[in-house]
Chain A
Amino acid sequence: MSYQWNWGIFTAPAASGDGTYLGWMLDGLQVTIALSLSAWVIALALGSLMGVLRTVPGKWLSGIAATYVEVFRNIPLLVQLFIWYFVLPEVLPFGLGERFKQDLDPLTQQFVSAMLCLAFFTSARVCEQVRSGINALPRGQKNAGLALGFTLPQTYRHVLLPMAFRLVVPPLTSEFLNIFKNSAVCSTIGLLELAAQGRQLVDYTAQPYESFIAVTVLYLLINVVVMTLMRVVENKTRVPGYLGGK
């Protein structure tokens, strides 16, 4: 094999006219981070709500939440993404789909679809973690809350959830890492995030190894940064007396 290594390629002016190929990669990195963080915020809110619903008394609410989880867990992420991006704008009622297609520019459409897809996909996993956190608490906690005269929502708000969230920080960390990795799937709808920029770099520079190595290293970097940050959070929120606690 006679491969010509050329690491200088990243500082070469890019074909788009402005900036360098390194600039392309950093643009992609920005999109990956913005996409993952915004999807994570929604996933956390939605997943917590569903997780709570799964544990409340009454078959209806917990049944809805359980169905929600099964749907988002048993369809591949790629298929979900294509449904968000290609199917929903077509079938949404009241002209919502039309407005989505006409009023938003294509880049925003891709970003919004990708964000909602990652958010709902991840929220099903967050839901399961939150549920297991609530279920891991001794039953007496809920009864004590009710006995003190709290309503059920108050018991959740002041007694159960503060503890449950602290218990599930470690598994949520790994879901948080997953959302960054899963965001690479969004390159398939043409969203120019990190992996897509990598592929584009291969096409424009004809230096596949340098491009992929650089992109891979950036993903590793994201991983290391997130793990370091989350370790701080885990240390702060650890519950004394529990496994892994102080």
Chain B
Amino acid sequence: MYEFDWSSIPGALPFLWEGMKVSLEITLTAVVFGIVWGTALAMMRLSSVKPLAFFAASYVNLFRAIPLVMVLLWFFLIVPQLLKSFLSLDPNTDVRLTSAMVGFALFESAYYSEIIRAGIQSVPKGQVAAASALGMSYAQAMRLVVLPQAFRNMVPLLLTQAIVLFQDTSLVYVSALADFFGAAYKVGDRDGRLVELLLFAGAVYFAICFAASQLVRRYQKKLNAHVAH
């Protein structure tokens, strides 16, 4: 029978926390950038300018068809070279974190754009008509009337996607970057306590994601009650 030995975890907590900060940093950048670029993509896709709509559709379909692991491998291969040749960085600079952030942001924006597109389409057409009847331009109608309503309906979905994204950040493991999971794996490997560290990592991810998804669920209920009245 396996003898559990959890003693290597307490001493490793500061190192694991450093890893957690990397995970959260990647999640946050990717969420912010993903929503901004995702909104732009969604508006392009719904626009009547054909080339823009075509570009956005191709971008979204391409990224949604490729595994995230493949996208990350691409970014760890290419982005460091580009950064180094454009910014003439020292070849030994560690740009893995930047590559990871760029990769996640561009990948997730494809998913965010689909959520946002559905959100924009859920706003009744009469709202746009009313806005233009009031003399607003298309941009004004979007900014002042459509997007605020669309985003309010989308908040739960955007947050759920952020939880998924937080889980996906563990995949930076393929670049040996020490995010939370990478840190846990390293400690377990070093101390020969992989079993305990992997179970611990799983429990931490579960606690965070479960709590976050319960909060989102409660928020969603409140939102539904608000809309119903």
A87 contacts B198, CB within 8 Å? yes
Q: Tell me, yes or no, whether B209 is within 8 Å of chain A by CB.
A: yes
Output the nearest chain B residue to A181 by Cβ-Cβ distance.
B67
Closest CB in chain B relative to A202 CB, distance in Å? 8
Apart from the given pairs A76-B171, A185-B67, A212-B77, 19 other A-B contacts in the complex at a CB distance below 8 Å: A73-B209, A74-B210, A75-B202, A76-B167, A76-B168, A76-B181, A78-B171, A83-B198, A83-B199, A90-B2, A177-B65, A180-B67, A185-B171, A188-B173, A188-B174, A198-B73, A212-B70, A219-B66, A220-B66
Listed in ascending order, the chain B residues whose CB lies under 8 Å from chain A are 1-2, 62, 65-70, 73-74, 77, 81, 85, 163, 167-168, 170-171, 173-174, 181, 185, 194-195, 198-199, 201-202, 205-206, 209-210, 213
Residues of A bordering B, CB below 8 Å: 1, 70-71, 73-80, 82-83, 86-87, 90-91, 93, 97, 177, 180-185, 187-188, 195, 198-199, 202, 208, 212, 215-216, 219-220, 223-224
Closest to B196 in A: A87
> With A and B bound together, what is the CA distance between A75 and B66 in angstroms?
22
Complexed CA–CA distance, A217 and B170 (Å): 25
Known pairs A79-B181, A91-B195; A212 contacts B73 (CB<8 A): yes
Residues of B within 8 A of A223 (CB): 65
- Are B66 and A79 in contact, CB atoms less than 8 angstroms apart? no
Q: Given contacts A76-B181, A223-B65, are A86 and B195 in contact (CB under 8 A)?
A: yes
B181 to chain A, nearest CB (A): 6
- CB contacts (< 8 Å) of B209 on chain A: these are 73-75
Q: How far is the CA of A215 from the CA of B195 in the complex (A)?
A: 33
In the assembled complex, 13 residue pairs joining A and B whose CB atoms fall closer than 8 Å, in A order, are A1-B85, A70-B210, A71-B206, A74-B163, A79-B198, A82-B185, A83-B198, A90-B195, A93-B1, A182-B67, A184-B68, A216-B70, A224-B65
Given A83-B199, A93-B1, A220-B66, are A76 and B73 neighbors across the interface (CB < 8 Å)? no
Closest chain B residue to A202, Cβ basis: B77
CB distance from B177 to the nearest CB of A (A): 13
Q: B173: which A residues are within 8 A, CB to CB?
A: 78, 188
Picked from A79, A91, A198, A215, the residue with its CB within 8 Å of the CB of B205 is A79
Most chain A C-beta atoms within 10 Å of own C-beta, residue among B67, B170, B173, B201: B67
Whether A82 and B198, one on each chain, are in contact in the complex, defined by CB atoms closer than 8 angstroms, is yes
Cβ contact within 8 Å between B194 and A86: yes
Q: Which 7 A-B pairs have the closest CB atoms?
A: A184-B67, A76-B167, A74-B209, A223-B65, A181-B67, A184-B69, A76-B170
Tell me if A195 and B202 are in contact (CB < 8 A): no
For residue B171, which residues in chain A have a CB less than 8 angstroms away from its CB? Answer: 76, 78, 185
Q: Note all chain A residues with C-beta closer than 8 A to B62.
A: 220
Structural contact, B181 and A78, CB atoms closer than 8 A: yes
Q: Which residue of A lies closest to B189 (CB)?
A: A86
Across the two chains, which residue of chain A brings its CB closest to B167?
A76
What's the nearest-Cβ distance from chain A to residue B104, in Å? Answer: 14
Q: How far is the CA of A76 from the CA of B167 in the complex (A)?
A: 5
Query: CB distance A77 to B66 under 8 Å?
Result: no
Contacts of B206 in A (CB 8 A): 71, 74-75
A-chain residues with CB within 8 Å of residue B81 when the two chains form the complex: 1
Task: Identify the closest chain B residue to A92 (Cβ).
Answer: B2
Cα distance A12–B69 when bound, in Å?
27
> Taking CB as reference atom, which chain B residue is nearest A184?
B67
- Given the known inter-chain contacts A83-B202, A87-B195, A91-B195, please indicate yes or no for A220 contacting B65, CB distance below 8 A: yes
